[in-house]
Chain A
Amino acid sequence: MRKIFQIALGILAAIGGFVDIGDLVFNIEAGAQFGYQLLWVVVVGVVGIIVYSEMCGRVAAVSKRPVFDAIRERLGFGVGLGALASSQVVNLMTLAAEVGGVALVLQLLSGLPYRALIVLGIVALAVVIWVSPFEWIERIFGYGGLALLVFAVAAIKLHPNWGDVAYGLVPHVDTPDKLVYAYFAVGLLGAAMTPYEVYFYSSGVVEEGWTPKDLGLNRANALIGYSLGGFLSFALMITAGALFLPLGIEPEFIGTVALGAQVPLGQIGLILALVGILFAVGGAAIDTCFSGAYNVAQYFGWEWGKYRRPAGAPRFTVAWVVLLVLALLVIMSGIDPVMLTEYAVIFSVVALPLTYLPVLLVANDRAYMRSHANGRLANTFGLIYLVVILVVAVSAIPLMFLTHQGQG
């Protein structure tokens, strides 16, 4: 009984944790521009992250090694270092964008100046990570992120044409702006299949000492957690499609996103939306920050762990502190967080094959995985998504240039 309760709590905390600033930006923008037409891409993305995450979790539970160990072992020192460098660049961009998002929301809530709130936000994050046990961090940010469910309520209250919504789940292209459509499809996939979540999850699996007995839990986590995250993404896109598209609003600001809840639900909608965004993005910032530190520590063989005291894994600690400081510098340069988010998502999509392929290989390696290597189902999906990821990785940057980042 207690176990079920724990799992339920974990899943609740996870829903809030599965939506980050990339999902917010791309789902709302896609809805505002194309209505419900890209909903099917969200489904593809959610299935993709479920497949990827389940594999990483399984590899971690069976081999007791997290993702970046596998990357160095399979790709070798040089290529592995390249994968490390590219993932750190993407992590840094993502982290800076998330901190910027947090500062923007704090500004909307408090009226204090943006730049001061950036510093306040970074310091607050650093202190929270340094002082709090990680279980608390996951719970607080996870439950706070649940406030994003207000968008589900908003979506319903806006009375969208549910027939059109259902049609959006069928892959089709109904627009003259085919390149812009493709750009948003790529962005949505990238936002759904964020690698840092997978590094973070696999490291957690190793740290918590999961064994092959926990593989069912791994599968449930991946399936339920990301499905619920997908549900939230749906809510965002439907809200934007029902509200912004008919009014011709192009959401360029975080505040506009919150409008999506305020218009149908009033002040309470606005507050819940802002609180939800604050905790979801703040929690994502912590995950991204740790993910970057995990990657470096795992690549070089250092001690690491989110449940350790800072002095228990000193170089790991230095790594995440340095990452926060660098993120501070990046976002203080004045770059727009929403634009930075788009860049971060696009670049993460380009680098995705470098981290997906080694995992797929290790998951098939019977010497590592014994009887838990990929079966036919896992390999079918695994290979389909390898193709999807390669296609998307190759087309992302050209699309970004050709469509001027979706402006057309």
Chain B
Amino acid sequence: MRLSDLLNVEVRTESGKSIGRVHDLRAELTPRTLKVTGLVVGGLGLLERLGIGAPTAGARVRTDDVVPWSAVVRADRRGVVVRDGTKPS
């Protein structure tokens, strides 16, 4: 699977409620690997896609809400499903 497959797909809970779209994937960079740790989820957000709101020094991350990968049930081109009760934080 590729990054482009997951960008902009819809994120729903198991019971079908939509909590937004995938704006980006949050990852942790270590000396040997790049592990995906979560999903950056938000609304239709033109501003987010343009990278507005990415300010913290040293990190190349957005300030949007992040869903940790542990909450993900399934992820593919058709969409991402997360456990019920997951809210981006």
Residues in chain A within 8 A of chain B (CB atoms): 73-76, 357-358, 361-362, 364-367, 370
Contact = CB atoms under 8 A, between A and B. Distances in A.
B29 interface: no
B58 A75 contact: no
Among B49, B50, B59, which residue has the most Cβ atoms of chain A within 10 A?
Answer: B50
Contacts of B54: 365-367
Contacts of B49: 76
B51 A366 contact: no
A168 to B, nearest CB: 39
Contact of B59 (A76, A358, A364, A367): A367
B55 A361 contact: no
A265 B18 CA distance: 75
Given A361-B52, A364-B52, A367-B58, 6 more contacts: A76-B49, A361-B50, A361-B51, A367-B55, A367-B56, A367-B59
Given A74-B50, A75-B50, A370 B55 contact: no
22 contacts: A73-B51, A74-B51, A75-B50, A357-B50, A358-B50, A361-B51, A361-B52, A364-B52, A365-B54, A365-B55, A366-B54, A366-B56, A366-B57, A367-B54, A367-B55, A367-B56, A367-B57, A367-B58, A367-B59, A367-B60, A367-B61, A370-B57
Among A75, A358, A366, which residue has the most Cβ atoms of chain B within 10 A?
Answer: A366
Among A357, A358, A361, A367, which residue has the most Cβ atoms of chain B within 10 A?
Answer: A367
Interface in B15-58: 49-52, 54-58
B2 to A, nearest CB: 13
A362 B51 CA distance: 8
A206 B87 CA distance: 43
Interface residues of B, number: 12
A365 B52 CA distance: 8
Contacts of B56: 366-367
A367 B52 CA distance: 11
A365 B51 CA distance: 8
> Lowest 5 A-B CB distances belong to which pairs?
A367-B60, A366-B55, A74-B51, A74-B50, A361-B50
A366 B52 CA distance: 11
A232 B80 CA distance: 59
A83 to B, nearest CB: 13
A289 B78 CA distance: 44
A74 B49 CA distance: 7
A370 B59 CA distance: 10
A365 B58 CA distance: 11
A222 B59 CA distance: 31
A366 B53 CA distance: 10
Contacts of B50: 74-75, 357-358, 361
